[in-house]
Amino acid sequence: MTFTKQRWKLHKRGMHLELVDKALDHNDYDGEVKKMIEIALLCIQASAGMRPTLSEVEVLLQTRSPDHVAPVTKFPIVI
């Protein structure tokens, strides 16, 4: 199983914190961690049309609400 596929499966199961290094104290940042993972998954979509532009990523990163990220519904295939 590829690295990306493993991460995708954990994300789809809502187990995004399993992707974070255990040495990091991330308990207070659960929503932020999930947001970063979702942005990363959006950025590696196979179709360029499905990937956010750099300015869209900038807006997503600056947005305070973790729920502002569009849901990633397709497995991101790195080309």
Q: In this predicted model, what pLDDT tens digit does every residue of 10-48 receive, in sequence order?
A: 878 888 778 777 787 766 777 787 888 888 888 888 788
Q: In this predicted model, what pLDDT tens digit does every residue of 42-78 receive, in sequence order?
A: 888 878 888 889 998 998 888 876 565 666 656 655 5
What is the share, in percent, of the chain residues with pLDDT greater than 90? 4
* Phi then psi dihedrals of residue 66, to 5 deg: -70, -20
Residue with tokens 């590829």: 2
**Has this prediction a pTM greater than 0.85?**
no
Is there a contact between 42 and 70 (Cβ–Cβ < 8 Å)? yes
Residue 53 confidence (pLDDT): 92
> For residue 15, what are its two tokens?
């187990």
Could you state, in order of their start, the residue ranges of all structural domains in the chain?
A: 3-68
For residue 76, how far is the Cα from the chain centroid? 10
